[in-house]
Each structure stands twice: as structure tokens, then as C-alpha cells.
Amino acid sequence: MLSRIAESLFWIGRYVERADDTARILDAHLQYLLEDPYLEEEAACRALLAVMGATPPSEETEATRTTVLDVLAYDRHAPGSIAGALAASRENARRAREVLSSELWECLNTTWNALPSRIRSSSPHEYFAWVRERAAIVGGITDAATRRDETLQFLLLGRSIERADMTARLVTSRTLAGGAGPGWMTLLRSCGAHEAFLRTYRGRDSETLAAEFLLLDRLFPRSVLFSLEQAERCLTRLAPIDGRGLREEDARKVLGRVRSRLEYQPLLSLLSSLTEEMVAVQEGCSDASDAIRLRYFPSGVADDWIGDRL
Amino acid sequence: MADLFDGYPEGVAWDEMIEPGHTVRAPYQHVHRTMGRLNADELRVRADALARSYLAQGVTFDVGGEERPFPLDSVPRVIDADEWGVLAPGIAQRVRALEALLADAYGPQQAIADGVLPRSLVVSSAHFARAARGIEPPNGVRVHVGGIDVIRDSAGGWRVLEDNVRVPSGVSYVLSNRRAMAQSFPELFARMRIRPVADYPRRLLQALHAAAPSGVDEPVVVVLTPGVYNSAYFEHSLLARLMGVELVEGRDLFCAGGKVYMRTTEGRRRVDVIYRRVDDDFIDPVVFRPDSLLGCPGLLSAARAGSVTIANAVGNGVADDKLTYTYLPDLIRYYLGEEPLLNNVDTWRLEEPESLNEVLDRLDELVVKPVDGSGGKGIIIGPAASREELDLARAHLRADPRGWIAQPVVQLSTVPTLAGDALRPRHVDLRPFAVNDGDDVWVLPGGLTRVALAEGQLVVNSSQGGGSKDTWVLGEMRRGARPPLTTEGGPPAPSSADGDTPAGVQQDANPTDTEMREQNQQQQQTPSSGEPPEPPTRRFPAWRSSC
């Protein structure tokens, strides 16, 4: 497969997942902002922007729900916003048009076409619901109509890495505004994990258990651990490990390091420095992404040849 | 475009939003301003969105085989902090008195011995379950959940209309109404301090855990439902889902050796607490109706053996009998030594001959209700009834004076409600929910406001075509003055350990995306003059090399 195509697939996976997860996080937080009368809106919005890796507005301007929505939901040019991610995923799909199934391409294209009117006419909650739905369709088509070859592995790889990263952000957002962020239950609900969690732990309402579930559950597909393992599995499918073990620059080294740090650290110590740990996960995902690019999509880096016309 | 409030009539009833003279009461200022800014179409769009979200979630009820969304009116009912400060303790007091009454009625019957309550009243109550005598609830709680219906009369005072301590329903609408309203009217939630209701399932589960038989560490709680055809099935499933417990039907349970089990794929599993939403009559065919398929044979003996807790307890109906209701102010004084915080509606006890005669005379101006009815069934409203209906009612009253009570017609207060293209006053009541965990009676801030959608209609029950309104209790605290968080059994709040600023790594993007944009611009550019642009030197994408 062409490196360029593979790269597009990888990023389609990441962007769609990013749009999905951002919609979930925003939905939970905005609802929470509305329902909790005691919350400091300004601080909460700034913190949310920070968690999502966006630059908060300068000190003079006030950060409100509208700011958050503009930056993280409606901006069509920033890759960190929902609309931006959807636009970018469609752009990447256009480049990889020939290996994508028509269904997948049409789905991404329709989504992109509908963006302006959606942004204009629906309430934030409806917009988020729509984004989740579109992402689910992408997931379904990927699952049902993609050959289990490299195409799928790259899509899945992108999705898993993004998911680990976003769930880490979601967990960090628990600490918004000095511990007054939405409770674990809201966060669980936002990633569709609430019912699964309740069933797993029979309604025991413990913060530790909820954190453990989002970080370490082996069976829930949105937990950080599950996503990291999935990414590692994809990499192994793409390049089985030979007798000499992993090469120095292999992305699995980075992912494995992050994973084992979560997996083998005592839970309480993990929780007591949650923000740092989650930043480490995000950095790990970013490093892994770089390592994958070096290995599989070298075009952008290696071909520094100068003006040599054939 | 007409103002939605144009031509809003001043009625005889107390209007919750608009005082006589068309001034808006303080707690409703924001609501009035926001609603006033909308026109009928805009409000209709939001109302449709509310209905759609209910259809999608399945918050519906059945009308002749077709699923209709449960009508939620767009105009909320608002209660300010001071008023709630009177109402909530009043509700809690009432629940404590009902608890004491039940403990007494199924125990020493001291109140009867002391002449506060007639023995005949207790033993003649249709819901006095002899089989429940001797069942001692583990933490002494029989009313785990209570729903006390209150109304506001035309003078603006709160009065209790009836108590519900059997299986009060409607709390699911409180939860889903709030969710839907927050999504439809974000601007109001942003401006007002509305006390959240989402805590209810947690409180309920906590109370059910507290009620578990002693010696059980991690009690298994289940919600017992009559099944999917029950009109409140949505509520049963919602509560089970939000509490993370199993939703069972009678056939999923069985009793063996004085213990209750449920059938699971991994064999039988002990059940410790049953939050039942099945009526007494159907809960145990051994003791009650032998033809019942909704319950589980042997439940009551298991409860008597103390191996399972049934919540709410069996036999609670004796406390919400409408004749018992008339004694409640006395019972509050007797059991609690307190003055009642909330008044009853004046009620005639028809067993007293002179009351009966007076009522029979004035039947056309009174309301008569069956003592054990619920859901607005059997109520006869004198002024609205026909001559035949009144005659029939007279015959009923003469035949069974114990079975009926009479009350004056109370003009329930009104709240503006969307009717056609305008807002019009419609009558409402309020059912606050109280959860008793044995230490404390917690009242859910707000409750279910039911509204009669037809003009002048005084029966607000949903089975009689009523709708509901979201009920907002305003918080007394300012933004920012958040009460300290209590973390129970959890780790130290994770944030405080590592500073106040949560951090995130900047999100990266496909580097090709940005290059493509530059390149796109280059492709669009036409050389301005003779000099061709320098060919790009760095990061030249591979596929371009072929041209």
C-alpha cells in the first residue's frame, strides 16, 4: 500500500474518533455546566479548553460556553475542533478515495456537506448527537465493508491511538476547576460507559471504581488500556515481531511503555497524580503517532531531495 | 407577531407566575422574559424538539396502540429557595409521621389504645395487610420512597392533597424532564441557579442498601416490575439502569428455604433487597391474590424471616388511605410532638352522620373521592357532574360511607402553559419525592408538577390526559460558593493533589493536511510576470514527481 494512502487512512481513523470523542466530552460538560448552578463558568471553560489542548483566550476576554463551542465544536479549520476534524477526515478520504469503499467515502462526504447547515440550525446537544451518529456510521461501515488487510489495520490503528488519547483527556477533565468538574458518573455517561460500568460494579458508587473502569477495564472498548492494547495489536498485524524483538524506533515500544505504566502501577498512586499520568498518556500517543509516521509514512520526512526534475 | 402572554386572563385561582395586576412574581422573572421574547412558532419548535427527544428515548405512553410522547410543557414551574425551605421540611415531617404510624399500626397499636386513631379505621382499611404484621424492616423503614401530593390553594398556601407511600411513581419524568429542558432552554439554566435532581438514583440506591437485612455486606438490590406492558415500565427500567441493578419480573425470582433468588445464566443468585413496583395484591400469590403471575410465591415469608427486604413495605396502604389522611395532623402531633408544617385540605369524614348529611346536601359543590383510589380514578367533582352522576354518587356514599371522603373544590394554582398559539393558565399540582434511608428523610428538590392540559380541568393525573412540567427549585447559594464536596470511600479528590490547572497536550494533525493547503494555493497561482515561481524545495510529495 502506498505510504500516502496509509497515512490518510490512519488519519481518517484519528479524525473521526476525535470528532466523536470531542462531541461526547463537550456534551457532558455543557450539560453539567447547565445543571450545576454552583459552577464557576469562566474557570470551567478555560480548564476545558486547556484539557482539550486548545489555547484559552487571553486574560481580558471572557471564556464562556460560546467560546468553548466556537473553538472546540464549530471551528472548521482547527484540527482540534469537531467540525475541523470532520473536514480533515473528508480531506484525507478524498486523497485515499481509491482504496476506500464508496460507502465510507460518501458517508464522510455527506457529513462534511451537512456541516454548515448543522452548525447553523441545530442546538449544541443535537449537533453532538448528530456527530456521534455519523461517527457510528463510519465505524459500522469500516467494520462491515472493509477487507481485513492493511486498510483496516491503519484505520483501526488511528482510531485506537486517538481513543486512548481522548479518554485520557476525558479523565483529566474530571479535575476541572479544582475538583468541581463533572463527577465520574457524568464522564462515564459521556463515553457511553455508564450502563456498562453500573452493570459491572452493580451500582456501587465509588470514584475509585469509576476511574479504574475508564483507565483499566480490559473489556470496555473505550478504556485507555483497551485502546492501547488494540493499537499494539494493529501494529503487530502490520509487522509481526521477529526473533530480535522490537526495534528501537518501533511505536510499540512507546505504547507498551505507556500501557505498562498504567497497568502495573498501584491504582492509588495512579490516581494521586492523575493529571501527570494522563498527560503522559497523551504524550505517549503523540510519540507513537510520530514513530508510526517515521516507519510507515516516510514521504514527508525522508524525501528531502531538491528540485531534481526527472 | 403577538406576545405569547397577550390576553393572559386573571383567574380566580392563584397564578404561580403572574400576580393580579400583571406583575410577574420574582422567581419567574427570567422565565417570563425568555418566553416573552419567543413567538408562538419558536416556542412550538422547542416544544416539538422536547417531544422528539422523548420519542427517541421512549418516554412515551400508549394511546390506543400508538406511542405518544409524554406531554412535557415548555414553561417550567419555579419555586424559590425560601418557599422550598418550608415545603421540604413539611414533606419530610409528613413522611416521618407516616413511618411512625405504620410502625405502630403493624406493631403495638399505641395510637389506637390512646384514642388518637379509631381501631375501626385501621382494620377496615382495604390496604391493611394482616400478613404484614410481624415483619420487622431491618432498619425500621417502611416508606423508602414517598410521594406527597401538594397543591397551592387560591390564597397561595400549600396544602397536602394526599400521601402516596405504596408505590409512588413519576420520578422518572422528573429526571428526564430536567435533561430535556436543559437541552431546550440552555439560556435559562445559564442564568438561574436551579438545584439539580440527578442525585435521585444514587440516594435511592443508598436507601435501599441501608435497608438490607443485617449482616449482608454488599446487598444485591433488584427492581421488581410487573413487566413491559405496565404503563410505568419506562420508569422501572430507568431506575434500574441508573442504579445499575437488575430489573426483574416475578418469574425471574424464586424462593427457596426462606431466601429469595433470581435465575441467572450463572445459576441462582441471592437477592437481598427488592424495590418492588408491583402492588401488594399481586406480590405474593401465597398470601394475596392466588391468581397473580406478577409476584413470587413465598416473598412474604422470606421477608418475615428477615432474609429479604421489600421496599416499600407491604401493607403501607393503610397509611395513605384517604380517611387516615384526615387524622394525619393529629398523628404528627401525637408521634412527633410537632405542629404540622403543611395543612391538609378540609375533609369530611362521612362515617359521622351529620357530615354525611351535609355532604349529601351539598354534593353539587364538593369533590368526593374513594379512600383507596389513586390515579384520579373514581373522583366526582360536584360542580362538573351531571344529575345522574350525582344521584349515583349519593347512593354510593350512603351504601359505603367508609369508602369515601368529601372535600371542598380547591382551585388549584395555575401556571402559564402552551395552549395552541398562546400561553394560558392551567391547573397544576406537585408531587415531591422523599427518600428515607433510616437516618434522614431526603426530599428531591422539585418533584413532578402535573398539569391539566384542558382549560379549567382540575384533575391533573396523566392517565386523565394530564401533562407535566419541569419543576425548578432555585438554589440559595451564589455561583462559586460551592458546598464542599463529600467523597465517600473514594480516593482523595484527584485534582487537589496535583495543582489546580488541568493540562492537556496539544492535539496534532496530519502534517500533509497543512502542506496540501499550501500546495493548493500554489496550484491556483498563476505566475504574475515573466519570472516563474521557485519550485518548492522541501517536502515535495512523492506523487508530484511524475508530472
Contacts of A193 (CB under 8 A, 6+ apart): A213, A214, A220, A222, A223
Question: Is pLDDT at B492 greater than 50 in this prediction?
Answer: no
Q: A38-69, pLDDT tens digit by residue?
A: 677 788 888 888 888 888 788 888 888 888 99
Per-residue model confidence (pLDDT) at position B523: 65
A154 located within any domain: yes
Residue found by looking up cell 456534551 in the block: A27
Q: Which of A16-20, B65-69, B369-373, B480-484 comes out lowest in average pLDDT?
A: B480-484
Residue found by looking up cell 456510521 in the block: A137
A310 located within any domain: no
Whether residues B189 and A201 touch (CB distance < 8 A) is answered with no
Q: B287-344, pLDDT tens digit by residue?
A: 888 888 888 999 999 999 999 999 999 999 999 888 899 999 999 999 999 999 999 9
For range B428-444, the mean pLDDT:
94
Q: Please give the Cα distance from B279 to B276 (Å, whole number).
A: 8
Q: B342-359, pLDDT tens digit by residue?
A: 999 999 888 888 888 888
Q: What is the mean pLDDT of each run of 10 residues along chain A (310 residues)?
A: 86 95 89 74 84 84 86 90 94 85 90 91 89 95 89 94 93 67 76 82 74 90 94 92 81 93 91 88 92 80 47
**Predicted ipTM > 0.90:** no
pLDDT band per the 50, 70, 90 thresholds, residue B463: low
Whether B163 and B328 have beta carbons less than 8 Å apart is answered as: yes
A296 located within any domain: yes
Q: B108-166, pLDDT tens digit by residue?
A: 999 999 999 998 888 888 888 888 888 889 889 999 999 999 999 888 889 999 999 99
For range B28-47, the mean pLDDT:
85
Which A residues in the span 232-291 are in contact with B, Cβ-Cβ below 8 Å?
Answer: 268, 271-276, 279, 282-283, 286, 289
Per-residue model confidence (pLDDT) at position B391: 87
Which amino acid appears at position B110 of this protein?
Q
A309 located within any domain: no
Whether residues A289 and B508 touch (CB distance < 8 A) is answered with yes
Question: Is pLDDT at B530 greater than 90 in this prediction?
Answer: no
What does pLDDT average to over chain B? Answer: 83
Domain count across chain A: 1
Which amino acid appears at position B375 of this protein?
G
Whether residues A41 and B479 touch (CB distance < 8 A) is answered with yes
Contacts of B213 (CB under 8 A, 6+ apart): B138, B219, B272, B306, B307, B308, B309
pLDDT band per the 50, 70, 90 thresholds, residue B525: low
Residue with the bigger pLDDT between B498 and A157: it is A157
Whether residues B196 and A35 touch (CB distance < 8 A) is answered with yes
A189 located within any domain: yes
Q: B203-220, pLDDT tens digit by residue?
A: 999 999 999 998 888 899
Q: Strand pairing partners for B343?
A: B159
A305 located within any domain: no
Range of the domain at A247: 3-300
Which B residues in the span 144-203 are in contact with A, Cβ-Cβ below 8 Å?
Answer: 178-179, 182-184, 186, 189-190, 192-196, 198, 202
Q: Please give the Cα distance from A220 to A208 (Å, whole number).
A: 16
A256 located within any domain: yes
